[in-house]
Amino acid sequence: MGAIVAIVGRPNVGKSTFFNRLIQRREAIVDAVSGVTRDRHYGKSDWNGKEFSLIDTGGYVLGSDDVFEKEIDKQVELAIDEADAIIFMVDVEAGVTGMDEDVAKLLRRVKKPVFLAINKVDNAKRSADAVEFYALGLGEYYELSSINGSGTGELLDALVEVLPEKEDTVDDLPRFAVVGRPNAGKSSFINALIGEERYIVTDIAGTTRDSIDTKYNRFGFEFNLVDTAGIRRKAKVKEDLEFYSVMRSVRAIEHCDVCILVMDATRGFDGQVANIFWLAHRNNKGIVILVNKWDLVEDKETNTMKQYTQKIKEAIEPFIDVPILFISVLNKQRIFKAIETAVSVYQNRSKKIKTGKFNDVMLPLIEKYGPPAYKGKYVKIKFCMQLPTPYPQFAFFCNLPQYVREPYKRYLENQIRENFDFTGVPITIFMRKK
């Protein structure tokens, strides 16, 4: 499992600046995905060769300060539950505030490593002011300035020391994670497949506590099913399930091969479903979308499957080559078809195309419709190949890689999809100098 680090603290102490600084090195490389704007609250970072996921809890809060006080407690508790380590950020200019003390009180009870980071310390006077934060009772602190980056190194050195080592997964079976927002029918879907009530399913959001793996064999194909329902504290977490399901899904998605995204037909493809979708996309996982509770959609005449599918595709552009199935877990409609589809997406994700064949198909298409000239220069693509990575990535070798624009890369991607079946799998295209 990759480690998860949560950044907590009240608004405007500089959490986001710090977060962006940590992920920017990576994000620029990792996120070269066309046409997608994503929330910036989740990213990957690494330090001294240790990789971890970073979650900026602050970004999930809307509303004024008094609303925030209630929210911040919730978020700190969620972070405490989910993260392997916590960075608690405070602001030296403001000094110790009542809200900081509340957070510190929650954090003092935690068995997990907590790092107190004092932001905006950019001169000696402020460094002297930082001493008052000892009053929070969290021991040593780290002084930093997230704007110019000073001090972040020491904090990260200490942080990666305490992060858990990667656990080796025991079996190499493909992992299918069942993800989606609470109450979309994830556990019921797994129950229906397994045919036994291994999970207790009730109508209260959040009865599944942790993601649970189930070995499953169907169509002579064995895999692990990962159920990620899961909101832990029913009493405390009522409304704000958003942050939590994202936290939950992060872990499951990072460690699976295919995400089976279950959505509720009556609620539509809303922002939270979209968040989980892009999370899977950004991690280069196979994706299958299951529209559950289709039997409950009243107005079937105007709301046909075709129109509904179209709506989802508009929401996930440009990556629309994704299987969308309409199911009813309750009536066991098409649930095995769903697994069959997930298996074929898994096979697409691990597909390797021989270089000779790939060139035979792609070069004539490039010949017919080459990259448009840019600043009067013509780009010539001479050779292309699939890279030896666990998911589909392709390199096209040419004289002026920097002049190939997004729309042309999309053309190449569409041609690859038309000629080789990569349904359900994100594709990355690199332009390289030959």
> Is 91 labelled a binding residue?
no
What tokens were used for 301?
Answer: 């005449």
> Is 13 labelled a binding residue?
yes
Give CA–CA dist 119/19, Å, rounded.
12
- Per-residue DSSP letters for 95-154? -S-HHHHHHHHHHHT-SS-EEEEEE---SHHHHHHGGGGGGGS---EEE--TTT-TTHHH
Report whether 305 contacts 269 (CB < 8 A). no
- Per-residue DSSP letters for 360-392? HHHHHHHHHSPPPPBTTB---EEEEEE-SSSS-
> Is 424 labelled a binding residue?
no
3-state secondary structure of 356: helix
> Is 321 labelled a binding residue?
no
> Is 39 labelled a binding residue?
no
> Is 240 labelled a binding residue?
no
∠ CA 207-209-213 to the nearest 5 degrees?
Answer: 115
> Is 16 labelled a binding residue?
yes
Give CA–CA dist 253/146, Å, rounded.
29
Give CA–CA dist 381/399, Å, rounded.
7
Report whether 209 contacts 230 (CB < 8 A). yes
> Is 283 labelled a binding residue?
no
> Is 11 labelled a binding residue?
yes
Nearest to 189 by CA among 54, 313, 290: 290
> Which letter does DSSP use for residue 205 in this model?
S
> Is 127 labelled a binding residue?
no
> Is 187 labelled a binding residue?
yes
> Is 57 labelled a binding residue?
yes
Q: List beta partners, residue 274.
A: none
Give CA–CA dist 99/88, Å, rounded.
12
Longest dimension (CA), the chain: 70
> Is 295 labelled a binding residue?
yes
> Is 184 labelled a binding residue?
yes
> Is 369 labelled a binding residue?
no
Report whether 261 contacts 287 (CB < 8 A). yes
> Is 15 labelled a binding residue?
yes
> Is 182 labelled a binding residue?
yes
> Is 278 labelled a binding residue?
no
3-state secondary structure of 338: helix
How many helices (H) and strands (E) in the chain? Answer: 12, 15
Report whether 395 contacts 427 (CB < 8 A). no
> Is 299 labelled a binding residue?
no
> Is 149 labelled a binding residue?
no
> Is 218 labelled a binding residue?
no
> Is 98 labelled a binding residue?
no
What tokens were used for 37?
Answer: 């704007």
Amino acid letter, residue 341:
T
Report whether 261 contacts 345 (CB < 8 A). no
Give CA–CA dist 268/15, Å, rounded.
32
Give CA–CA dist 231/357, Å, rounded.
48
> Is 377 labelled a binding residue?
no
> Is 58 labelled a binding residue?
yes
> Is 286 labelled a binding residue?
no
> Is 304 labelled a binding residue?
no
Binding annotation? 9-16, 56-60, 119-122, 180-187, 227-231, 292-295
Binding annotation for GTP? 9-16, 56-60, 119-122, 180-187, 227-231, 292-295
